[in-house]
Structure 1
């Protein structure tokens, strides 16, 4: 019991570290969103490059197509995802971005259900309706609150970018999990994580000179420059690399039904942390939208936990049957 509690606390620590990604775009201003993304993932990619160099023999043993796939999903699931998150957070709100991206368990469930039926489609109706209602409420919050005369277009674009981030992350999770389950020889987890990091870092290193050239000159004054460097180091090394290491270690000792709720705390932390940075309280419509989305995730997780227990009880009764690990979520 004590070991499980320690692992849960470690997983919550990792989720908190990841949550700062929703705060950073507003915190590093006047630096551009592109500079934050490329700076963060260039450092993340260098961490991955270091691991790949040390594990060169294991990397050479992998088929080329798998290496390319690891780089590809790293580019999509990290680089493209955080581009959407960064611009969404500055055009709209870090609070709204975190809440919308937090609904990704539902899109992951819908996409995963096509490939591997985890629950009945009827059980997904209520969570999907609640999620869509929450996103709709967040999308029109400026009009409801009477702020539509100034900046409503940016807020709408911010919500759309948050939805793109949610879909991008869902695609990454589903494709990564499917590939790992269908390969007969599982890749080394450390090498795989390094490949994903290099996928995000490679694109960042290519675009970093352009990001620096397109950044406002005031960013290179002493304090703004120190701020952007500190955030890039924190997000790239501590948040992305170390946070993922903590999560992977902790997840090995966490019961499967707890993995989903613990992952969901990342966006809850992100929404809470974003408000002090934006120096405001959430509006009533934002609170309402967040509650709808939180309710949708809760309903989904209740169904998912119940179904996981049913599958587990059937597995224990079948003493001579093969072990089925298809319901164990992949740790990213």
Structure 2
């Protein structure tokens, strides 16, 4: 029991570290969002490069197509994903961004079901309706409050794109791992994904620096952006991944989905603290709809997981939270 409790605490710690990504874009102002993204993932990529250099003998044994695939999903699932998150959080609200991105387990389940046909579609209807209702409420919050703006709508669209990008990453990664006869070493695979994110970041870093306002390079703003990049790139991304992978091996499968969902809850709470406000009634309603949808989905997920464990012939789950790469030996972070 003590070991399981420690693993849960460790998983919550990792989720909290990842959640800081939602407040960082506003915290580093006047630095640009692009500078934060490229700085963060350049450091993350360097961590991956270090691991690949140490594991060069194992890397040479991997087929080129797998190496390229790892770099590809790292670029899309990390770099592109966090660009969407960063601009969304500054255009709209980190709270709204966190909640919309947090609904990704449903899009992951839908995409996984199309790929492998392993989930009863009727079990997804109610969660999808609840989550769509929540997103609509969050999207309409400014209109209901009488303060509509083009920026807030663009922010919502970017948050939805981030959710879809992350879902693509999770499903494609998990699907490829299950279909490969020889599984790659988890550490080497994580390093490849990190290099995919870091490669694009390093190429764009000079442009990000050139397009950043001059006041960013004053002592305090410069110190602030450097510290945030180190925190997100090394502590949040790399060390958070290590904590999660170690903890996930000792966590009961039904608990994994709810623990992953805490990242968005932490992100929403941190965003409200940074913005120094309480959510509007519309935002509360949207948040509750999304949480209800996720909760209902996880109930079905747990039921299907127990059905499989008991050896019954009941409905199987699709690319759900119990089968995503986060729960396996393949580290995945945000």
TM-score band, normalised by the shorter chain? over 0.9
**Partner residue, 1:66:** 66
Q: Tell me the matched-pair count.
A: 320
Q: What is the CA distance between 1:279 and its match in structure 2?
A: 1.9
SS at match of 2:311: helix
Q: What is the CA distance between 1:329 and its match in structure 2?
A: 3.2
Please give the alpha-carbon distance, in whole angstroms, between the structure 1 residues aligned to 2:325 and 2:205.
Answer: 31
Indicate yes or no: 2:164 matched with 1:164. Answer: no
Q: Which runs of 5+ in 2 are unaligned?
A: 314-320, 327-331
Aligned to 1:223, which of 207, 220, 223? 220
**Partner residue, 1:268:** 265
Please give the alpha-carbon distance, in whole angstroms, between the structure 2 residues aligned to 1:156 and 1:104.
Answer: 19
Indicate yes or no: 2:77 matched with 1:80. Answer: no
Contact in 2 for aligned 1:256/1:328 (Cα 8 Å): no
Q: Which runs of 5+ in 1 are unaligned?
A: 317-325
Please give the alpha-carbon distance, in whole angstroms, between the structure 2 residues aligned to 1:328 and 1:46.
Answer: 29
1:110-159: CA deviations, max 9, x gaps?
011112233210010000000100000111100101112xxx21111000
**Partner residue, 2:240:** 243
**Partner residue, 1:196:** 193
**Partner residue, 1:91:** 91
Indicate yes or no: 2:181 matched with 1:184. Answer: yes
Indicate yes or no: 2:143 matched with 1:143. Answer: yes
Contact in 1 for aligned 2:52/2:192 (Cα 8 Å): yes
RMSD, aligned α-carbons:
1.2
Q: What is the CA distance between 1:275 and its match in structure 2?
A: 1.1
Q: What is the CA distance between 1:314 and its match in structure 2?
A: 1.1
1:167-214: CA deviations, max 9, x gaps?
000000000000000000000000000000000000000000000000
Indicate yes or no: 2:228 matched with 1:206. Answer: no
Please give the alpha-carbon distance, in whole angstroms, between the structure 1 residues aligned to 2:117 and 2:94.
Answer: 34
- Report 1:99-178 matches (<5 A): 99-148=99-148, 152-178=149-175
Contact in 2 for aligned 1:177/1:330 (Cα 8 Å): yes
4+ residue stretches of structure 1 with deviation over 4 A? none
Contact in 2 for aligned 1:133/1:292 (Cα 8 Å): yes
Please give the alpha-carbon distance, in whole angstroms, between the structure 1 residues aligned to 2:71 and 2:291.
Answer: 33
SS at match of 1:297: helix
- Report 1:265-304 matches (<5 A): 265-304=262-301
Indicate yes or no: 2:36 matched with 1:41. Answer: no
Query: TM-score, normalising length from structure 1?
Result: 0.95
Please give the alpha-carbon distance, in whole angstroms, between the structure 2 residues aligned to 1:8 and 1:55.
Answer: 30
Contact in 2 for aligned 1:19/1:270 (Cα 8 Å): yes
Please give the alpha-carbon distance, in whole angstroms, between the structure 2 residues aligned to 1:218 and 1:111.
Answer: 44
Please give the alpha-carbon distance, in whole angstroms, between the structure 1 residues aligned to 2:19 and 2:325.
Answer: 20
SS at match of 1:314: coil
Q: What is the CA distance between 1:52 and its match in structure 2?
A: 0.2
- Report 1:23-42 matches (<5 A): 23-42=23-42
**Partner residue, 2:9:** 9
Query: TM-score, normalising length from structure 2?
Result: 0.94
SS at match of 2:278: coil
Q: What is the CA distance between 1:63 and its match in structure 2?
A: 0.4
Contact in 2 for aligned 1:3/1:253 (Cα 8 Å): yes
Contact in 2 for aligned 1:119/1:304 (Cα 8 Å): no
1:249-277: CA deviations, max 9, x gaps?
10011111111111110010000001121
